[in-house]
Amino acid sequence: MRWDNLGDTPAAPADIALFGTDAVTTRTFDTPEFRGITFHEVRARSILNRVPGASRMPFEWTVNPYRGCTHACVYCFARKTHSYLDLDTGLGFDSQIVVKINAPEVLARQLGSARWQGAHIAMGTNVDCYQRAEGRYGLMPGILTALRDRANPFSILTKGTLILRDLELLIQAARVTEVGISVSVGFTDRELWRTIEPGTPSPQRRLDVVRTLGEHGIDCGVLMAPVVPFLGDRPEQLRETVRAIAEAGASSVTPLVLHLRPGAREWFTQWLRRHHPGLVGRYERMYGDGAYAPTWYQRRITRQVHELAAEFGIGPAQRGAARRIPAREEPSPGAVPEQLTLL
């Protein structure tokens, strides 16, 4: 394995990436939830990653405490990053997890640097920071504490229900800075979920996260991703998904059609041949020009979802729409907590 190049791109700057081979400890745990998974514990020199200028992402900085993901989503675009470490982008991505065990301490140090200007930090944009490994390593409480203490704006995208463990920290952070939370739910079809996202909580459990966050005064949007062509895009499927998102109290819904980058494309195609061989030709035609579905198709899905969202009383996400929970007096013992007011 190659440990001298652990940035988010194969050409990461020297001050971003990262570890020497003497900083790696490999562990396995003989418990049902971690059986078959290997963890590579590393001590990071840096945890703040600058997004390449050519990226489509609407943010400049990310924090990724993990590499690889036990969610095992067949379509995950981050699979390619495992090849930078000479690791397999298929099963290896699902079962060989890199853990930056000192991420909270490194982040606290970097946020306190005079060079850091307090830019927005996005998490969960590469792999899920609330994947199964977080239940054992518990890195996110320290990361959220560092962000809260510096009043540094941040956002989290997750499919994990474990985020609710950190609810109080999220509330505290939202009182002093802008916090944006989104949950990814591309469909509510349970059969599709079991085969294409086998390591994730069910779509309904994820929507329960949206509901719980909202009940505690934290706006939560839904990234309706991915909308899977020919498997999750029928009008009745889109309607059912948007209806469920609205019932969960999501503040917004933003559709994103499946895209198949190198690394993910090959693994997804293998899955398609096993589960839906009749669709292979249609996918080859739809994605024949690259990683993204044709523009006309993306626009059609976006229009349909936005129309349904309007019908059910929710709208598309808007950049900068994160809410802030103001400081308030602690209630007296036995008092019924009031709904937090959002500005």
Provide mean pLDDT across the span 306-332.
61
Q: Which of 2-16, 27-41, 114-128 has the lowest mean pLDDT?
A: 2-16
Q: Residue 326 and residue 175: Cα distance in Å, rounded? A: 5
Give pLDDT tens digits for 221-266: 999 999 999 999 999 999 999 999 999 999 999 999 999 999 999 9
pLDDT at 323: 41
Average pLDDT value over all residues in the chain: 87
Q: Which of 239, 237, 222 is closest to 308 using CA atoms? A: 239
Q: Is residue 12's pLDDT more than 50?
A: no
Query: Average pLDDT in the 115-137 region?
Result: 95
Which pLDDT does position 284 carry in this prediction? 97
Tell me, what amino acid is at 222? V
- Beta carbons within 10 angstroms of residue 82's beta carbon: 22
Quote the CA–CA distance of 286 and 260 in Å, as a whole number: 11
pLDDT band of 150, cuts 50, 70, 90:
very high
Q: Residue 22: pLDDT above 90?
A: no
Closest CA to 254 of 155, 136, 133: 155
Q: What is the dihedral of CA 131, 132, 134, 136, to 10 degrees?
A: -170
Instruction: Please give the pLDDT value at position 30.
Output: 72
pLDDT band of residue 28 (cuts 50, 70, 90) is confident
Percent of the chain with pLDDT over 70: 84
The DSSP line for 3-48 is: -S--SSSTT--TTT----GGGEEEEE--SGGGTT-EEEEE--S--E
pLDDT computed for residue 179 by the predictor: 97
Q: Is 80 exceeded by the pLDDT of residue 135?
A: yes
Query: What is the reported pLDDT for 316?
Result: 56
pLDDT reported for residue 34: 85
**Residue 16 in contact with residue 49, Cβ under 8 Å?**
yes
Please check the confidence at residue 298 and state whether its pLDDT lies above 60. yes
pLDDT at position 58 is 72
Q: What is the pTM of this model?
A: 0.85
Amino acid type, 200: T
Task: Report whether pLDDT(92) > 50.
Answer: yes
Q: Is the pLDDT of residue 289 over 60?
A: yes
Measured distance CA(161)–CA(14) in Å, rounded: 35
pLDDT at 56: 63
Give strand ranges (E) for the chain: 24-28, 38-42, 48-50, 61-63, 66-67, 96-100, 121-123, 154-158, 179-184, 220-227, 253-257
Q: What is the pLDDT of residue 322?
A: 41
Nearest-10 Cα torsion for 253, 259, 262, 268 = 100
3-state secondary structure of 300: helix
* Residue type present at position 226: P
Report whether 179 contacts 155 (CB < 8 A).
Answer: yes
